[in-house]
Structure 1
Amino acid sequence: MEEKQPNDFAIQPAPETVNPWHPSQFPDGGKDAWLCLFGGAFCLFCSFGWLSCVGVFQNYYQFNQLRDHSSSQIAWIASLEIFMMFFPGPIVGFFYDNHGPKYLIVFGAFFHVFGLMMSSLCKEYYQFILAQGICSPLGLNCIFNAGMATIPTWFLKKRGMAYGIMAAGSGLGGVIFPIMASHLIPEIGFGWTMRTLAFMILGLLMISLLTVKSRLPPRPRALEFKVFLEPFRDIRFVMIVISSWLFFLGLFIPINYIEVQALAGGMSFRLAGYLLPILNSTSIFGRVLPGALADKVGPYNMQVVMSFFAAIIVLALGLPASSNAAFIAFAALYGFASGAYVSILPAQLTKITKIEHIGLRTGVTFFCLSFAGLVGNPIAGAIVDADNGKFHGLSIFAGVVMIAGAVMFTMTRMLYAQWKLFVLA
């Protein structure tokens, strides 16, 4: 009997389309993923790293161009910088979700570099407000969001570690920028120092433009107001925002005032210039190590531990500090403790957010935090002025609001874990 031959022309079933959003499709490594992480670290270096050195300018302006202005008035420059970096977050995040990171990097690089170039020409208070307080941070927001939102498209199981490595770029920027500024200003003057830093930032962002990309295609949504309100329907998101707002209110106060406080305590100008680099160098480890541990124990658990640690350091060491050794120890420990916040917060958000909406939710979160950044430093400056130049009230205020934030992070963790204690959360 003749064997039946298979029909070569039979219709074969189409291969099933793989969903790129499925957890199995996240590579957690590979050339493109590591290049994106490398470029994202440069984005954080140029954005949050720049923001981490605001204390250098608070100190420099107080003794030079703006010596006729009070500490509280000068603090408005740094506060506006923080506010304007995060305030446009919802629009920038929405744009990222719809179009990806490339346009944001181009737009952000232009405004950040242009603002620094204009800062190099500033003489009056209002000029510093416009150039350094408004123009430059408009670019910072775009650069920050472009780097931060692309990482979760490449990493899933190693997401905490990836965020930590990327956030370490901001710590490295916080080391390099203050050292460069403090050494270059006496050599080439304030104007050319700012231009040199701007050119360096431009070169690094060119690398980011070539390497930062999203693995997932954009899922455009119509620009409607309800899109920006949608995250607040999730009580877990609301709790994260409240916790972060309180913690962020005090976070930058020690960073902004540590040099001025140390000088008032008798430290030399030369040694005080190294406090911010010390703080930011230890923050590199504070970003990477807790971020990696968050993959093992959960980002909510890790955030609780590190936020309490940071607040206790402010009250137990920053408040009574009066010697060179005490200020150096405080800078090192606070840098490590506070650094974790930057890398763990995005990991918390990804636990409750669809990846295709991560840009918007990150932007909305930092939009809310912008108001804490706006008022934190001026309140601290007003406390110092009211206390006749003493810093005890400043440290108490920063420590207490950070403790409040840590308590709310604990409540957020319990809500996320459904009130279970010994679980991965």
Structure 2
Amino acid sequence: MPTHQTNSTSESTLAEARPGPDVEKDDHTSPPSAAEVATNDPPDGGRDAWLVTFGSWWALFIAFGWTNSLGVFQNYYEKELLRAYSASTIAWIASTQIFMMYGGGIVLGKVFDHYGPRWLLLVGGFAHVFGLMMTSISKEYYQIFLSQAICSAIGASAIYYACLGSLASWFRAKRATAFGIAASGASIGGVIFPVMVDRLIDQVGFGWTMRAVAFLILGGLVIVNLTVKSRLIHEPKPVHIRQYIKPFTEIPFLLLVISLSLFSFGLFLPFNFITAQAQTLGMSPNLANYLVAILNATRYVFQLNLAIKEVYTNSFSVFGRIIPGLIADRVGRFNVMSVATLVSGILTFAIWLTGRSNVAIILYAAFFGFFSGAYVSLTPALIAQLSPIQEIGIRTGALYFFVSIAVLTGSPIAGALVAVDKGKYGYLEIFAGATMCAGAALVVLTRVVKGGFKWAVL
């Protein structure tokens, strides 16, 4: 008798738990729910996760690292290849390249959500290398613009967004750590590429310099394609305009977009103009050409600080030994971004605007590079913190689209300010500092809206 009651109870329970026909049909016709199951518990480590991080490091090295070296080209084009054109006109090459790098996400982020990283990496890699090869044989302004600022940049953008979305799917608690490691590749690229270009142009000429860069990038692409993959289940779905509009109805996300767009107006101006500005103050061309490398080297220290809690190496400064245990995943991503962006703006007013010696300019390059490193490292982590993981591609693309507009117009505006200032850089420096400080203030406001005034890990 007890056995019979138990069986009856079990059958009754199973009958209640068994879904009806409509529910069962919904379960079988909703594959995206599998994606939710797959991404609810990211491993936050393991062989595959760290291989994706390694591949993403190489992706940012060859994509963003190349973009970080554009200051060398601004100076070279002004003095050699495109000396018939104004600084403002030449600045459109760098600003358009960064615009395409960021702005492509409005489409490429959705492509990632639908199809995953594979085709983005293959097609984007080809476009990046092909564009640089075409740049190597370019002589006219329009040729350089089309090959370097459009073709190569679109390819780099595809590589960038494929890896951002993939990396986010493997980490949650350690997301800033993973992004910090990957983003350090952009800074190492920003150290290697400017020095490489500066040395090779004098020895083998512009054409073979660009080809050497393209071959280095091609080698990195092999590693990227072998290691980067996504945990998400990617299936094409209908595209609706409300998918792009919905994130902007959320106040924290909207404030983040506005704040980072404002900050971006000024962020890239030191990278693009510090080499030329330093030479107007009497710095030798050989030393000035290393300023972009210094910017990126110290940015690398910051990004590695975000990634590693304890660092024991003689190549880092004392700050690199103290800060790692205090920031990012431990202290809070919004907290670190608030401080780093604010200090970046203050440094621009305090040192770049007022300093006129070689020492002052080098100090600015080092400290600005260090603190501005938070932008590349933490922006993807902040987006992921405010977004459902299944929408990471489209939300990243939407934010970076507005950032790209600021980047596109920032450098030409700065070039025009140099012309108005009769070849001096004071107006440019004020513009850069003001926009970065305004953006930093809104980052702080975003943090307050999200977490209130009390100190918390956010």
Question: Normalized against structure 2, the TM-score is what?
Answer: 0.87
Secondary structure of the structure 2 residue equivalent to 1:365 = helix
* Cα deviation, residue 220, structure 1: 3.7
What is the distance in 1 between the residues matched to 2:457 and 2:204? 53
What is the distance in 2 between the residues matched to 1:300 and 1:115? 37
Find the counterpart in structure 1 of residue 201 from structure 2.
185
Secondary structure of the structure 1 residue equivalent to 2:445 = helix
Find the counterpart in structure 2 of residue 4 from structure 1.
none
What is the distance in 2 between the residues matched to 1:311 and 1:247? 9
Secondary structure of the structure 1 residue equivalent to 2:431 = helix
Find the counterpart in structure 2 of residue 424 from structure 1.
457
Find the counterpart in structure 1 of residue 403 from structure 2.
369
Find the counterpart in structure 2 of residue 247 from structure 1.
263
The counterpart of 1:266, out of the listed 282, 301, 309, is: 282
Deviation string for 1:198-248 (max 9, x for gaps)? Answer: 011011011101100012222542122222222112111111100000001
The counterpart of 1:335, out of the listed 348, 358, 369, is: 369
For 1:163, the aligned partner's letter is F
What is the distance in 1 between the residues matched to 2:337 and 2:235? 31
What is the distance in 2 between the residues matched to 1:108 and 1:231? 27
What is the distance in 1 between the residues matched to 2:103 and 2:300? 26
Find the counterpart in structure 2 of residue 131 from structure 1.
147
Matched, 1:77 2:110: no
* Cα deviation, residue 339, structure 1: 0.8
Secondary structure of the structure 2 residue equivalent to 1:294 = coil
Find the counterpart in structure 2 of residue 163 from structure 1.
179
Please list, as runs of the form range in 1=range in 2, the aligned pairs for 1:209-224 lying within 5 A after superposition.
Answer: 209-224=225-240
* Cα deviation, residue 21, structure 1: 2.3
What is the distance in 2 between the residues matched to 1:363 and 1:341? 16
Find the counterpart in structure 2 of residue 347 from structure 1.
381
Secondary structure of the structure 2 residue equivalent to 1:64 = helix
Secondary structure of the structure 1 residue equivalent to 2:205 = helix
For 2:180, the aligned partner's letter is G
* Cα deviation, residue 357, structure 1: 1.0
* Cα deviation, residue 20, structure 1: 2.0
What is the distance in 2 between the residues matched to 1:69 and 1:19? 56
* Cα deviation, residue 321, structure 1: 2.0
Deviation string for 1:284-329 (max 9, x for gaps)? Answer: 1222324662211211111110000111111111111211111111
Please list, as runs of the form range in 1=range in 2, the aligned pairs for 1:295-314 lying within 5 A after superposition.
Answer: 295-314=329-348
For 2:122, the aligned partner's letter is V
For 2:374, the aligned partner's letter is A
What is the distance in 2 between the residues matched to 1:254 and 1:291? 25
The counterpart of 1:195, out of the listed 202, 211, 221, is: 211
Asked if the contact 1:291/1:343 (under 8 Å) is kept, the reply is: no
Deviation string for 1:6-39 (max 9, x for gaps)? Answer: x9xx99x99xx992222xx321111111110000
Find the counterpart in structure 2 of residue 3 from structure 1.
none
What is the distance in 2 between the residues matched to 1:308 and 1:219? 41
Matched, 1:205 2:221: yes
For 1:213, the aligned partner's letter is K
Find the counterpart in structure 2 of residue 20 from structure 1.
38
For 1:243, the aligned partner's letter is S
For 2:382, the aligned partner's letter is Q
Asked if the contact 2:39/2:231 (under 8 Å) is kept, the reply is: no
Q: How many residues align?
A: 415
What is the distance in 2 between the residues matched to 1:352 and 1:369? 17
Matched, 1:229 2:240: no
Matched, 1:116 2:132: yes
Find the counterpart in structure 1 of residue 416 from structure 2.
382
For 2:73, the aligned partner's letter is F
The counterpart of 1:315, out of the listed 339, 343, 349, is: 349
Identity %, equivalent residues: 46
* Cα deviation, residue 111, structure 1: 1.0
Cα 1:230–1:291 shift into 2, 3 Å: farther
RMSD (Å) for aligned C-alpha atoms: 2.1
Secondary structure of the structure 2 residue equivalent to 1:280 = helix
What is the distance in 2 between the residues matched to 1:208 and 1:244? 28
Q: What residue ranges of structure 2 are gaps of 5+ in the alignment?
A: 1-6, 18-33, 309-326
